[in-house]
Amino acid sequence: MKLKNKTAIITGSSQGIGRGIAERFAQEGANVVVNYIGNMEMANEVVQNAQNIGANAIAVQGDVSKVADIENLFANAISSFGQVDILINNAGVERHAPFWEVTEKDYDFVMNVNTKGTFFCAQAMAKHLIETKRRGKIVNISSVHEDLPFPNFTAYCVSKGGIKMLTRNLAVELGQYGINVNNIAPGAIETPINKNLLNNPNKLNYLLGQIPLKRLGQPEDVAGLAVFLSSDEADYVTGSTFFVDGGLTWFYEEQ
Ligand code: NAI
Ligand code: BGC
């Protein structure tokens, strides 16, 4: 077990990649804090699955775009488990629209959840670790689109590019406290965020043609790397982005 006696907060972990990470962390012996915004039933299911294999787990409702909710999330985690060792900034949203049609509301929504949420969760984690004089790990789930353009998803790309710079800055600023900060950049993973793609065979086949490993990723593909980056084995790893994309980012082909 690679995360025995560690407590991990995973934001937005009632489904998708976050859920995959929460369930894998439970297998690795972590105490798991399942943050969710709306679906209590699914969050409780994740908690139940963790408890069924002997792990400790709680579910905490909270909107990561609100600093008060983030403070409440950390307060709940600390009162249940005494401390937090790992933060996985996973909660994220996207909105599809041509650039010239993006509304202020949609821009704010994407930036507030993805970038502001990641920023202030990381700040709450840093404050907690510095106050308690303990080392810790922060892993942000960014995206291949922290680097790779994605037409019709410009706000999303801006939000993930922001997370890339957040990670680099924090790795430099927080290194002195023994806090490691890294990004995981998934490619196309089979989760609800991609429901339009999954329901459109033409789009899906076209995308699969651009993935050298010829399949979508699964939450478990991301979870394995999250375990490594959160474990003591990654103590000398900070400020980097790790791609889990089946080769998508570097795809190029001529006929
Ligand atoms: P998903 O839609 O299944 O999961 C997103 C989760 O975030 C949901 O549980 C949702 O309730 C939660 N969430 C949304 N707003 C929230 C808020 N304000 N406060 C707390 N939780 C909130 O999609 P998926 O794929 O699991 O996404 C997880 C992360 O992975 C996101 O940051 C996404 O951008 C990123 N990602 C996903 C990829 C994919 O292909 N599925 C690829 C690259 C990155
Ligand atoms: C997006 C997905 C997309 C994937 C690959 C992710 O960041 O959330 O919608 O399929 O990148 O392009």
Structure confidence by residue, pLDDT tens digits, 43-55? 999 999 999 999 9
Contact, 11 vs 19, CB < 8 A?
no
Q: Which residues, at least 6 apart from 16, have a Cβ–Cβ distance to it below 8 Å?
A: 189, 191, 192, 193, 219
* pTM of the entire predicted model: 0.99
Residue 210 identity (one-letter amino acid)? Q
174-227 pLDDT tens trace: 999 999 999 999 999 999 999 999 999 999 999 999 999 999 999 999 999 999
Question: What average pLDDT is seen over the chain?
Answer: 98
Residue 146: CB within 6 Å of ligand 2? no
pLDDT at 255 exceeding the cut of 90 = no
Mean pLDDT of 97-101: 98
pLDDT of residue 231: 98
Mean pLDDT of 222-234: 98
CA of 218 to the centre of ligand 2 (A): 13
* Buried-state track 205-223, b at ≥16 Cβ within 10 A, e below 16: eebeeebeeeebbebebbb
**Secondary-structure class of domain 7-251 per CATH:** alpha beta
Distance in angstroms (rounded) separating the CA atoms of residues 135 and 91: 23
Q: What percent of the chain has pLDDT above 70?
A: 100
Mutate to test the pocket of ligand 2, among 90, 189, 245 (most ligand atoms within 8 A of CB): 189
CA angle at 19 for the pair 112 and 109, rounded to the nearest 5°: 15
110 lines ligand 2 (CB under 6 A): no
How many Å lie between the centroid of ligand 1 and the Cα of residue 193?
7
Binned at pLDDT 50, 70 and 90, residue 119 comes out as: very high
Catalytic, 156? Answer yes
The ligand 1 atom at the shortest distance from the C-alpha of residue 160 is 34
